[in-house]
């Protein structure tokens, strides 16, 4: 795994506020691994679409899955170019002027062509997906049967062409506005786990569920 920064391509180079751009593989992995959801954009004869879907990372690939009948899955599996975006919103930045209000965030954009995961490797890939939801889950649930696996397409997108962009910290006010009698600062936001809600009665709660929160 190459963790070095990659030179940006023409379509990954961050041009708006370029100092926030980051092409380090470690930054990308951290953003992807903190996510359960991505948005995949693709184009077909009906136009351009952007669809939310579950995602997970193994090594140098972002993994996606869906029904064989899904228009998105069929298009992504056809060799078409796709673009995947993952964003974490960390706070609302309130400045002393309306113009300088902003947001703190971590974002990754990944370009490329998806590869179809071979049938014999789908079960292992989906087990890895279960583990990203809750570590230990794949050893407890019923695995996909032959019919379910046959109805599912698993795709992977190489993490070769990407850009990350982040913002952190407080407002960047104009010097002339610093003395205005206006509250300024950051309203932090966080996606946090809450207590698990069981479906039915169980003799014993698995340790990974007990530790979920």
pLDDT of 4 over the 80 cut:
no
CA distance 61 to 182: 46
DSSP 8-state assignment for residue 34: T
Considering the domain boundaries, does residue 54 fall inside one?
A: yes
Considering the domain boundaries, does residue 4 fall inside one?
A: no
Return the higher-pLDDT residue of 213 and 191: 191
Q: Can you give the pLDDT at residue 204?
A: 81
Cβ atoms within 10 Å, residue 205: 12
Considering the domain boundaries, does residue 112 fall inside one?
A: yes
Q: Can you give the pLDDT at residue 123?
A: 96
pLDDT of 104 over the 70 cut:
yes
pLDDT of 31 over the 70 cut:
yes
- Domain tally, the chain: 1
Domain extent for 146: 18-188+201-210
Burial (0-12, 13-18, 19+ Cβ within 10 Å), 53:
middle
Cα separations (Å) of 133 from 11, 121, 136?
Answer: 32, 19, 9
pLDDT of 1 over the 60 cut:
no
Considering the domain boundaries, does residue 196 fall inside one?
A: no
Considering the domain boundaries, does residue 33 fall inside one?
A: yes
Write the CATH number for 56: 2.30.110.10
Q: Are 40 and 50 in contact (CB under 8 A)?
A: yes
33-85 pLDDT, tens digit each: 999 999 999 998 899 999 999 999 999 999 999 999 999 999 999 999 999 99
Q: Are 8 and 21 in contact (CB under 8 A)?
A: yes
How far is Cα of residue 45 from the mean position of the Cα atoms in its chain? Answer: 26
Provide the whole-model pTM: 0.91
């Amino acid at each position: 795994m190459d963790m070095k920064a990659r030179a940006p391509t023409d379509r990954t180079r961050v041009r708006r506020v370029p100092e926030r751009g980051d092409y380090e593989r470690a930054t990308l992995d951290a953003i992807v691994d903190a996510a359960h959801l991505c948005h995949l954009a693709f184009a077909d004869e009906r136009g351009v679409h952007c669809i939310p879907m579950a995602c997970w990372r193994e090594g140098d690939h972002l993994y996606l899955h869906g029904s064989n009948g899904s228009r998105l899955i069929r298009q992504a599996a056809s060799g078409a170019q796709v673009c995947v975006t993952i964003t974490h919103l960390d706070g609302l930045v309130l400045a002393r002027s309306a113009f300088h209000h902003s947001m703190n965030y971590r974002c990754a954009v990944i370009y490329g062509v998806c590869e179809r995961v071979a049938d014999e490797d789908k079960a292992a890939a989906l087990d890895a997906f279960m583990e990203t939801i809750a570590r230990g889950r794949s050893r407890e649930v019923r695995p996909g049967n032959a019919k379910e696996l046959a109805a599912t397409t698993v795709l992977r997108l190489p993490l070769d062409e990407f850009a990350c962009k982040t913002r952190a910290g407080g407002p960047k006010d104009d010097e002339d506005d610093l003395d205005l009698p206006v509250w300024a600062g950051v309203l932090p936001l966080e996606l946090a786990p809450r207590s698990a809600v069981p479906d039915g009665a169980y003799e014993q709660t698995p340790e990974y569920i007990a530790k979920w929160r």
